[in-house]
């Protein structure tokens, strides 16, 4: 695993000072290691992308679409290896790892179609003033840096890589040091497809590598998904260069359950929103707002459902939830359990790490959590659900919106008119009504407030990598 960086069409050994240990979280043990890229190698990757840009942005849209379809096909051919790697390095149950792969495949297929539908570079603009003519060009923004997180590797990179390539950009991709292996598939596929050298570059590393990329003056845009603390650093570096950024950051999302819901169905939606990927989702609906009339019936069933989740090693057991992906995240979640005890929160389920090898914690439910509790206001990134009761629709909306985040929300109600009305009133980027968190590539992804800047997926994801130019000519 020493040749872990893909630069200018070649696999090269890392020359950085950091050794990256790749762990199996179900065992709490490393199974691979690689050397990080040096700052000089980041320079080389950006230079390769810059060199490849003129030819790549000049390719016809149908040619770029063919490469994107090739990525989709090649991902499918590597299915079992990639699913197994997701299970081993992320701790994802098999069904989650399979959905992740299908999501990545669908993303490349979708942007292949969108690339073919791109309008001509020259579109006439009608002008009210006589004596002038004008046209619009949609051009690639240029060389882009893509920094992706560890909770959904392969998927988040597909959400960025596919539209960037479709738009005609060249890229430098930095995977998370927690899950650096699975993105290697993109370099392998680029080789197999004959993607021109320098169009895709991959550099692995820790904070030093990420900083070298985000601060690099050779980039025209940066797209980052991750924590708010790192996102603010990325934004500072972008502001110093007046460079556009897309930031997909944290969340502390609400699920609102009205008293006309079917209790068992509501429990299913709630459990899915907090236990998927062991709660390691920026979109985890970790704040449960349950109406008074249904709370006494719902909470005991929710407690039982969480306690009955099968938690274990996805490679050796049939499980509903795997471990947390890293020891650092395990320690962080454990610290919130300690905070809950200090605050005297009422724990109906879980509230502790599991006594077994690996980085496992119990699915957890706290009730009647005060609005000023750290567990109610801060993103935990684990299977920790906090519940409060509400009396009216107005109260539910106010408490759901009372957050510095605004990524997603879920509304559960048999009254669809009310559900739609509440969805419209929530200050978030995406709302589900009576559903698990089904994410479709045709829709947008991104949030308001502290949850980030810009949108991914859908046509908005493509436009994020395009620049608009107008040409106006005097006819006199």
What is the full DSSP assignment across 110-147? Answer: HHHHHHHTPPPS-EEE--SSTTEEEEEEEEE--EEEEE
CA distance 35 to 208: 13
Ranges under pLDDT 70 in the chain: 1-3, 120-121
Distance of alpha carbon 60 from its chain centroid, rounded?
A: 29
Domain with CATH 3.40.605.10 in the chain: 5-249+451-474
End-to-end CA, the chain? 65
Segment 291-340, tens digit of pLDDT: 999 999 999 999 999 999 999 999 999 999 999 999 999 999 999 999 99
* Structure tokens, 15: 């020359």
Return d(Cα 140, Cα 283) in angstroms, integer. Answer: 30
- Give CA–CA dist 363/385, Å, rounded: 8
Concerning whether 412 is annotated as a catalytic residue, the answer is no
Given a contact cutoff of 8 angstroms between Cβ atoms, the answer to whether 422 and 401 are in contact is no
474 carries an active-site annotation: no
What pLDDT does 122 receive? 80
pTM for the whole thing? 0.96
CB 196 within 8 Å of CB 49: no
> Radius of gyration of the chain from Cα atoms?
23
Q: Which residues make Cβ contacts (< 8 Å) with residue 204, sequence separation at least 6?
A: 4, 5, 14, 20, 34, 36, 37, 174, 175, 177, 180
* Sign for the pseudo-dihedral over CA of 389, 391, 393, 397: negative
Given the residues 96, 177, 183, 248, the one annotated as active site: 248
**Span(s) in the chain for CATH 3.40.309.10:** 254-440
pLDDT value of position 118: 86
Q: Which of 96, 169, 183, 282 is catalytic?
A: 282
Q: Are 171 and 162 in contact (CB under 8 A)?
A: no
According to CATH, the topology of domain 5-249+451-474 is: Aldehyde Dehydrogenase; Chain A, domain 1 (3.40.605)
Selected from 3.40.309.10, 3.40.605.10, 3.40.630.30, 3.40.50.300, the CATH number assigned to the domain covering 254-440 reads 3.40.309.10
C-alpha 308/C-alpha 231 separation (Å) is: 36
Q: What are the angstrom distances between the C-alpha of 102 and each of 77, 106, 357?
A: 12, 6, 30
Torsion of the alpha carbons at 28, 32, 38 and 44, rounded to the nearest 10: -130
* Three-state secondary structure call for residue 389: strand
The values of phi and psi at residue 299, to 5°, are -60, -45
Give the integer Cα–Cα distance in Å for 453 and 214. Answer: 16
């Amino acid at each position: 695993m020493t040749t872990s960086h893909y630069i200018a069409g070649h696999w090269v050994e890392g020359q950085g000072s950091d050794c990256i240990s790749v762990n199996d979280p179900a065992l709490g043990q490393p199974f691979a290691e690689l050397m990080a890229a040096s700052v000089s190698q980041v320079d080389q990757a950006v230079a390769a992308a810059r060199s490849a840009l003129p030819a790549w942005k000049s390719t016809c849209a149908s040619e770029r679409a063919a490469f994107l379809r090739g990525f989709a096909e090649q991902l499918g051919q590597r299915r079992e290896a990639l699913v197994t790697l997701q299970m081993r390095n992320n701790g994802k149950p098999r069904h989650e790892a399979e959905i992740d792969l299908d999501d990545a495949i669908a993303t490349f297929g979708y942007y292949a179609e969108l690339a073919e539908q791109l309008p001509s570079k020259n579109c006439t603009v009608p002008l009210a003033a006589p004596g002038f003519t004008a046209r619009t060009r949609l051009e690639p923004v240029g060389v882009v840096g893509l920094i992706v997180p560890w909770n959904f590797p392969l998927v988040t990179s597909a959400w960025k890589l596919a539209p960037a390539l479709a738009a005609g950009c060249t890229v430098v991709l930095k995977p998370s040091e927690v899950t650096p292996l699975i993105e290697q598939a993109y370099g392998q596929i680029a080789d197999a497809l004959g993607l021109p050298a320098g169009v895709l570059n991959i550099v692995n590393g820790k904070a030093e590598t990420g900083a070298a990329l985000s601060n690099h003056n050779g980039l025209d845009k940066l797209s980052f998904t991750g924590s708010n603390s790192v996102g603010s650093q990325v934004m500072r570096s972008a502001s110093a260069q007046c460079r556009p950024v897309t930031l997909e950051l944290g969340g502390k999302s609400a699920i609102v359950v009205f008293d006309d819901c079917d209790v068992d169905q509501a429990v299913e939606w709630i459990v899915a929103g907090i236990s998927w990927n062991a709660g390691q989702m920026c979109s985890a609906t970790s704040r449960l707002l349950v109406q008074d009339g249904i709370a006494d019936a719902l909470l005991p069933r929710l407690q039982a459902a969480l306690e009955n989740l099968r938690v274990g090693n996805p490679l050796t057991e049939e499980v509903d939830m795997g471990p947390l992906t890293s020891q650092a995240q395990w320690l962080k979640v454990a610290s919130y359990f300690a905070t809950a005890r200090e605050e005297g929160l009422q724990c109906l389920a879980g509230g502790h790490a599991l006594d077994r090898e690996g980085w496992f914690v119990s699915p957890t439910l706290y009730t009647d959590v005060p609005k000023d509790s750290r567990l109610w206001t801060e993103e935990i990134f684990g299977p920790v659900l906090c519940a409060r009761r509400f009396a009216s629709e107005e109260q539910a909306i106010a408490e759901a919106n009372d957050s510095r985040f605004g990524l997603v929300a879920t509304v559960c109600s048999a009254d669809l008119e009310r559900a739609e009305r509440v969805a419209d009133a929530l200050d978030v980027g995406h709302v589900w009504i009576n559903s698990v968190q089904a994410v479709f590539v045709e829709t947008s992804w991104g949030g308001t407030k502290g949850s980030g800047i810009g949108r991914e997926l859908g046509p908005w994801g493509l436009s994020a990598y395009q620049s608009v130019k107008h040409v106006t000519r005097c006819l006199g």
